[in-house]
Amino acid sequence: MDFGYHHASFRYPDDDRPMVDATADRAAWLDDAGFSWFSVMDHVWQLPFNGRRDEPFLECYTALTAVARATESIELGALVTCPHYRNPAYLGRVLASLDHVSGGRAVLSIGAGWYEDEYDAMDIDFPDISTRNRQMRETIELCQAMWAQESPASYEGEHYQLDDFYCDPKPDEMPVLIGGGGEELTLRATAEYADRWNIPSGDPKTFAGKLDVLRDHCEAMGTDYDAIEKTIGQTAVIREESEAAHEAYEDLTDRNEGGQTPRDEDREAVGTPAEAAERIEAFAEVGADTFVLKVPANDRRTVELFVDEVMDSVA
């Protein structure tokens, strides 16, 4: 099992330095500890289930560039890039630059876009999900065309075009991760385009059901299901005692505009190191390859306990 860290918040209650410094240091620690993946959200402001929209927040590829210079081996990407916030040719150029700055560690992680409030705030069209999914597909194709072709590169799609576009340096290769759980469109696109798939939450039974759907799409398209890396994201708050973990979760999320998950519902990896390890093993049993932590307010104690007591027990 590999481990990733989804940096869903730029809050550091125990660190009063500029958030870019705290973020780079957190990524360097995770890199040294053996994490394989570090991601940030591609949103304009904080989401209601992670905090408040008026809290400080960095643009994702700016943050990832800072992280790239502070780390050596951990892979870098968004969970997940919105295909509509940037012209797709510009997105491809940004990713090629991040790949160069990081020494080949960038991942094209992308979804179809979903947060309509941000679209409205920026006066961006928010088409139906079928159209957004086709635009996501074309964004992947366009980026891969500019990276594979000798400059100047060209691409002709229904929604996007590229005409004599120069992109140098180019990545040698860049994995594609598609995020989301839509069974008809997103998982079909995953079977067709992706090297990796991520779903940001859920329980092992739900995850297993999504994998069955992905397997069916791969069989229908003649693609290799086993070659796709399956990743699962989970909220994590860890303490030595379960009650203390739940109390910490409630303290860390008490400012979230979207509220908290009640105790009688699934809070994911909230509990002791042994309980977190048990949950990870349950995901591994149904087919997960990478377990991605999302730690409210970047709680340091959670990461310490995960590194010291969980990683080796399930690696």
| Domain 2-235 sits in CATH 3.20.20.30 | yes
How many other CB atoms are there within 10 angstroms of residue 118's CB atom?
A: 20
Tokens standing for residue 156: 């002709």
Query: In which residue are the tokens 């060209």 written?
Result: 154
**pLDDT one-digit tens code per residue, 181-235:** 999 999 999 999 999 999 999 999 999 999 999 999 999 999 999 999 999 999 9
pLDDT tens, per residue, the chain with 315 residues: 999 999 999 999 989 999 999 999 999 999 999 999 999 999 999 999 999 999 999 999 999 999 999 999 999 999 999 999 999 999 999 999 999 999 999 999 999 999 999 999 999 999 999 999 999 999 999 999 999 999 999 999 999 999 999 999 999 999 999 999 999 999 999 999 999 999 999 999 999 999 999 999 999 999 999 999 999 999 999 999 999 999 999 999 999 999 999 999 999 999 999 999 999 999 999 999 999 999 999 999 999 999 999 998 886
Distance, CA of 36 to CA of 50 (rounded, Å): 23
φ/ψ of 254, rounded to 5, equals -70, -15
Instruction: Look at residues 267, 275, 272, 276 and name the one whose alpha carbon lies nearest to residue 243.
Output: 272
Distance, CA of 137 to CA of 154 (rounded, Å): 16
pTM, to two decimals? 0.96
Q: Are 50 and 90 in contact (CB under 8 A)?
A: no
